[in-house]
């Protein structure tokens, strides 16, 4: 088991299919950054050295299964990703927050939650988007356990200080995943000329719910948002309270400096 402290793309795994799907999604993130993909399992409780034999065996099993699934997916796509695994202990959210200090990106998986009484994010994802020290990706899994496919990426153009970085990352994700980038324009300037090779949809803010033509009919699969969204994201309980239609009941990539 490799527990190096070098920069990496980190994925929290817990034995769920959603976590495995998030790890597969992160393959391209690691390759594009030329970094290893680190799978992290957190044993709830005290120090790892005090964990029971059963807890350690489960941790090793979950990591092994996730690593095997990621390697199979990477090999099938011809993408030779380097994988590291690590076991941490404590509160899962806090352990991943601590890990984020040395990470380029932290990813977690979650199921689509729809009208959830406790919000649209689970507690670990909610804590990460609020307190992590690096960008955070919350990757949704369909109710049947299948991964969501990134066909449309949405991003809001506005005057926030970090908006250029948010939009740049959205365009990079569009290029990386061969996806359409739908820009919801709240400012006059446009990035379309800077990335002529990426299909872009421009949608006027506030009109998304009424757009039904064939160019704008596809659902949002991945939303790229900035730090200004972090505080309110965990408290959202109903989709569509945002310029990005369906947000945040889709995969979310939070940009953090």
Looking at the structure, do residues 135 and 46 belong to the same domain, yes or no? yes
- Domain identity same for 90 and 22: yes
In this structure, the answer to whether residues 100 and 173 fall within a common structural domain is: no
102 in a domain, yes or no?
yes
Q: What does the pLDDT read at residue 214?
A: 45
Could you tell me if 36 and 87 lie in one domain?
A: yes
CA distances from 139 to 60, 118, 240, 250 (A): 23, 18, 18, 7
Same domain, 13 and 112: yes
The pLDDT of residue 240: 55
For residue 49, give the CATH number of its domain: 3.40.50.12370
65 assigned to some structural domain: yes
What pLDDT, on a 0 to 100 scale, did the predictor assign at position 99?
95
- Residue 49: CA count within 13 A, CB half-sphere: 0
| pLDDT beneath 50, residues of the chain | 1-5, 115-117, 208-217
Evaluate whether residue 146 is within a structural domain. no
Q: What is residue 122's predicted lDDT score, i.e. its pLDDT? A: 80
CA 234, 97, 109, 6: dihedral to nearest 10 degrees? 150
Model pLDDT for residues 87-127, shown as the tens digit of each residue: 998 999 999 999 999 999 999 998 865 544 455 678 888 89
Residue 73 and residue 40 in one domain: yes
Q: What's the pLDDT at 3?
A: 41
Tokens encoding 209: 């719910």
Residues 127 and 190 in one domain: no
Angle at 31 between CA 29 and CA 36, to 5 degrees: 90
List helix spans (H) across 34-91. 53-76
**Same domain flag for 121 and 93:** yes
- What is the pLDDT, as a whole number, of residue 185? 76
Q: Are residues 163 and 107 in the same domain?
A: no
Q: Are residues 17 and 123 in the same domain?
A: yes
Q: Does the reported pTM lie above 0.85?
A: no
Domain that holds residue 187: 152-199+217-254
Task: Look at residues 220, 224, 179 and name the one whose alpha carbon lies nearest to residue 198.
Answer: 179
Say what angle helices 17-33 and 163-177 make with each other, to 10 degrees. Answer: 100
Largest Cα–Cα distance in the chain? Answer: 60
Total domains in the chain come to 2
| Residues 108, 19 contacting (CB under 8 angstroms) | yes
On whether both 163 and 118 belong to a single domain, the answer is no
- Which of 1, 81, 75 has its CA nearest to residue 34? 81
């Amino acid at each position: 088991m490799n527990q190096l402290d070098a920069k990496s793309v980190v994925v929290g795994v817990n034995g769920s299919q959603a976590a495995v799907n998030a790890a597969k999604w992160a393959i391209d993130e690691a390759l594009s950054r030329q970094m290893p993909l680190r799978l992290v399992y957190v044993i709830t409780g005290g120090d790892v050295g005090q964990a029971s034999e059963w807890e350690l065996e489960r941790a090793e099993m979950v990591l092994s299964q996730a690593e095997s699934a990621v390697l199979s997916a990477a090999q099938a796509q011809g993408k030779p990703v380097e994988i590291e695994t690590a076991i941490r202990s404590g509160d899962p959210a806090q352990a991943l927050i601590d890990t984020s200090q040395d990470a380029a990106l932290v990813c977690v998986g979650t199921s689509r939650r729809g009208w959830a009484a406790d919000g649209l994010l689970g507690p670990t994802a909610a804590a990460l988007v609020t307190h992590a020290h690096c960008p955070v990706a919350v990757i949704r899994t369909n109710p049947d356990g299948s991964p969501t496919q990134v066909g449309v990426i949405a991003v809001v153009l506005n005057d926030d200080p970090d908006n250029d970085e948010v939009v740049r990352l959205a365009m990079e994700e569009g290029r990386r995943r061969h996806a359409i980038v739908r820009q919801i324009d709240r400012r006059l300037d446009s990035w379309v000329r800077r990335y002529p090779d990426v299909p872009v949809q421009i949608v006027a803010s506030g009109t998304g719910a009424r757009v039904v033509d064939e160019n704008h009919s596809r659902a949002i699969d991945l939303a790229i948002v900035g730090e200004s969204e972090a505080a309110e994201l965990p408290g959202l309980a109903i989709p569509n309270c945002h310029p990005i239609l369906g947000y945040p009941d889709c995969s979310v990539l939070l940009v953090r400096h």
